[in-house]
Structure formats: C-alpha cells, structure tokens
C-alpha cells in the first residue's frame, strides 16, 4: 500500500512539472520587446524585400530608408510612412513638369490620383516592372481641306480608345529596372503598330519613297519601330537650339512643339520651301504658320503624312500630282494611330 502511494505521489509531481513547463514555455519572450529599428519588415513582406535586393537601383537600401516615419514628422505614423519618390529625387518634378515634357500630363494626373502617394503611379509605371493597364483616347481620323496652300477646314472624327497592358502581373513596384531598359514602344504600342514596315499611314511612319534621291524618314536604319527611332526626334539633343525645345530640361521625352514643323520650317534645318516640287516643297511662305494656327499640335504629324506617306501617292495621271505639287489644293481624310495599322487603305480622298 505504501508503494502505491509513492507511485501516485510521483505521478502527480510529474504531471505538475510538465504542466508548469508548458505554461512557462508558451509565454517565453512575451515581454521581450524588439526595438523599432530592429524589426525585420521582410518577415511579413518577403516579396518586396526580395525584389528590392535584386533591383538595379535601390538594392543597397533597406525598408526604413524610404518608409522612415521621420519623413513626415507631423503625421502620426506608427511603423512606416509611404513617401513620394520625389522626396528624394527632388529635381525630377522640375524636369517632368517642363512645358515641353511629353509625360507632363501623366505626372500631373498621377499627382491627383489617390491610388498611391503623390505622383508615385507615374514613377512606378516606367521605372519598375509592376503591372500597368493604360487607356489612350484619341481621334479616329482627321479630315482636312487645303486650297492654294491654305488650310480652309479641319474636322475631327469620333474618339476611339486604345488599351495597352505593360509590365508583369507578377511584377513588383519595388523592382527598379535599368534606365536603358525603359522602352518607349512598351507603352506606345499603338505608334509601333502604325509604324511597322511603313505599310500603313502613320504620323511616325516613313516619308515619301517615290524618289530614290530622297529617302525621307525611312526607319530601316533603326531596325523598324524601335526606341532608337523614337529618340531620334523625342530625345534629340540637337533641338537645344530651338526656343522651348531644350531636351536636357525634360525628364523622359521631348514634346515637339510644332510636330513636323519643329524641323521643317523657314528657320529650321530643313526648310520645305527650299525643296523642289518633286521633293515636296511648299512655295508659300505662310503655309507652316497656317497649319500651326489651324491644326492641333498633336495632330500636325497626321496632317503632314496625309501627303508625305508613300502609300498616299497615286502616280497615274499628272493632274492628280499637280493638285498638291503645283496648286496645293486637296481634301482628304487621314486615319490616326493605331487605326492606320488596321486600315487596308489608310487615306480616303
């Protein structure tokens, strides 16, 4: 009987011991607090940390470098602040809001958006591989009439929309790509479609090819509708001599103030009035000013390619040629991009 009591007492002691051990183990470290600076953000945000570590830029930074609560001391943020990219990249705002910056409207629209802080949507769209869906809105076509080298009427077709998806659906806003890998045609696929092979009408397609001595703007030397082809106009440092066209003062791409007329004007490097009729010369000294006054800047290119694209030249019949090349009188409708790439005959006279 004594032995049974001893065994019972031992059993009870064992139960008490293990029960207390589990309680102590369960609450171990509960009152040990980690300093805010020592909190490992990547334990909860492993994807963001991983993408940042393999980025071309910012890979040497840690989470608190940008999301530090001291950026906005007046805001009562407990753990992390979301900041503007321009808080560090202070010079970008002056560049991208320059009147000749092609992406100015994108930046200003992003500032008004509430999806991310400040203009961060615009920065992330180009500088990371994050997924983005863009909807472009543009005129389907323009219809214009020239009479004796003067613009007598300009009518715009209905609006169309064009949607392009860029980046990867598994991409990250924390993966910062090399600037040299930022592609123009990645977002502007509509321009690429209107330009491929110069087969259809497009304000970015090649110039008249009827005359072997005047190859015009053929993009063969650029291998098609490439980023280099885009930058030959929209990032051309030789434009610095023109008023308000200082390419070093813009962030991403230059918005040509007068489209084709940036170069093709009386003071530009290629004054059209100096060319022969066969090369497309315009004998009127007021022709360019007339276009600039009567056609929206963004559609001047479409206006010009109405005559200057090879597909628009029917060489049968001298009177058909002389309507443009001698008297400067024509009425026609020109599809804009990407309609140009969709049409079998891009211009209707």
Distance CA 37, CA 45 (A): 16
What pLDDT is attached to residue 96? 92
Sign of the Cα pseudo-torsion (48, 50, 55, 61, in order): positive
What pLDDT is attached to residue 317? 54
**Contact between 304 and 203 (Cβ < 8 Å):** yes
Lowest mean pLDDT among 144-148, 237-241, 251-255, 270-274: 270-274
The tens digit of pLDDT for each residue in 68-120 reads 877 777 777 788 888 899 988 999 998 899 888 899 999 999 988 878 888 99
**Contact between 150 and 143 (Cβ < 8 Å):** no
Residue of higher predicted confidence among 294 and 5: 294
What pLDDT is attached to residue 10? 56
What pLDDT is attached to residue 191? 75
Instruction: Assess if residue 23 is contained within a domain.
Output: no
- Strand, coil or helix: what is 35? coil
Instruction: Assess if residue 339 is contained within a domain.
Output: yes
What pLDDT is attached to residue 199? 45
What pLDDT is attached to residue 196? 61
What pLDDT is attached to residue 24? 53
Q: In the predicted model, what is the mean pLDDT of residues 238-248? A: 71
Q: In the predicted model, what is the mean pLDDT of residues 305-314? A: 65
- Cα–Cα distances in angstroms (integers) from residue 29 to residues 34, 44, 100, 343, 346, in the given order: 10, 20, 60, 71, 74
| Residue 237 pLDDT class (50, 70, 90 cuts) | confident
Residue of higher predicted confidence among 42 and 215: 42
Distance CA 263, CA 276 (A): 17
Residue of higher predicted confidence among 46 and 243: 46
What pLDDT is attached to residue 176? 92
What global pTM score does this model have? 0.76
Instruction: Assess if residue 152 is contained within a domain.
Output: yes
Average pLDDT, whole number, for the chain?
75
What pLDDT is attached to residue 224? 62
Domain containing 151 equals 140-158+179-348
Instruction: Assess if residue 306 is contained within a domain.
Output: yes
- Cα–Cα distances in angstroms (integers) from residue 269 to residues 128, 188, 241, 287, 309, in the given order: 38, 28, 11, 17, 21
Q: Is 63 a residue whose pLDDT tops 60?
A: yes
The tens digit of pLDDT for each residue in 258-283 reads 778 777 777 766 776 666 655 555 66
Instruction: Assess if residue 292 is contained within a domain.
Output: yes
The tens digit of pLDDT for each residue in 182-236 reads 888 888 877 776 666 444 456 776 665 544 444 556 555 555 667 888 888 888 7
Size of the chain in residues:
349
Instruction: Assess if residue 212 is contained within a domain.
Output: yes
| Residue 5 pLDDT class (50, 70, 90 cuts) | low
Residue whose token pair is 């090819």:
209
The tens digit of pLDDT for each residue in 122-181 reads 999 999 999 988 888 888 888 888 887 788 888 988 888 878 888 888 889 999 999 888
**Contact between 59 and 52 (Cβ < 8 Å):** yes
Of 299, 312, 333, 315, nearest to 199 (Cα)?
312
Of 151, 182, 150, 154, nearest to 166 (Cα)?
182
8-state DSSP, 223 = T
Q: Is 345 a residue whose pLDDT tops 50?
A: no
Of 103, 81, 83, nearest to 93 (Cα)?
103
Residue of higher predicted confidence among 159 and 286: 159
8-state DSSP, 159 = E
Instruction: Assess if residue 227 is contained within a domain.
Output: yes
The domain total for the chain is 1
DSSP 88-121: T-TTHHHHHTSTTBTTHHHHHHHHH-SSSSTTHH
What pLDDT is attached to residue 212? 46
Q: List the beta strands (DSSP E) in the chain.
A: 132-139, 141-147, 150-156, 159-166, 330-335, 347-348
What pLDDT is attached to residue 218? 58
Instruction: Assess if residue 94 is contained within a domain.
Output: no
- Strand, coil or helix: what is 136? strand
């Amino acid at each position: 009987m004594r032995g049974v009591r001893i065994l019972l007492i031992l059993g009870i002691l064992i139960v008490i011991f293990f029960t207390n051990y589990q309680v102590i183990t369960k609450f171990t470290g509960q009152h040990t607090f980690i300093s805010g600076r020592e909190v490992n953000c990547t334990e909860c945000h492993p994807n963001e940390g991983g993408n940042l570590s393999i980025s071309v830029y910012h890979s040497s930074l840690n989470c608190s470098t940008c999301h530090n609560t001291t950026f906005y001391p007046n805001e009562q943020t407990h753990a992390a602040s979301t900041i503007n990219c321009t808080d560090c990249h202070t010079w970008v705002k002056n560049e991208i809001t320059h009147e000749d910056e092609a992406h100015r409207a994108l930046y200003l629209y992003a500032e008004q958006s509430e999806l991310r802080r400040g203009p961060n949507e615009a920065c992330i769209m180009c500088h990371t591989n994050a997924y983005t869906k863009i909807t472009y809105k543009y005129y389907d076509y323009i219809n214009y009439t020239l009479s004796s080298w003067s613009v007598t009427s300009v009518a715009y077709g209905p609006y169309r929309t064009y949607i392009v998806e860029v980046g990867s659906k598994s991409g990250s806003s924390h993966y910062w790509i090399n600037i040299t890998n930022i592609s123009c045609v990645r977002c502007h696929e509509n321009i690429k479609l209107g330009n491929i092979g110069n087969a259809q009408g497009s304000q970015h397609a090649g110039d008249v090819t009827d005359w072997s001595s005047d190859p015009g703007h053929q993009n063969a030397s650029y291998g098609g509708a490439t980023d280099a082809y885009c930058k030959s106009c929209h990032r051309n440092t030789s434009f610095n001599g023109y008023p308000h066209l200082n390419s070093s003062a813009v962030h991403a791409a230059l918005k040509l103030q007068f489209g084709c007329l940036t170069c093709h004007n009386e003071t530009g490097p290629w004054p059209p009035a100096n060319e022969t009729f066969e090369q497309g010369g315009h004998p009127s000294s007021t022709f360019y000013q007339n276009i600039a006054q009567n056609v929206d800047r963004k559609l001047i290119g479409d206006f010009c390619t109405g005559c200057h694209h090879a597909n628009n030249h029917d060489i049968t019949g001298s009177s058909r040629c002389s309507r443009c090349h001698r008297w400067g009188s024509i009425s026609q409708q020109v599809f804009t991009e990407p309609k140009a790439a969709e049409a079998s005959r891009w211009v209707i006279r």
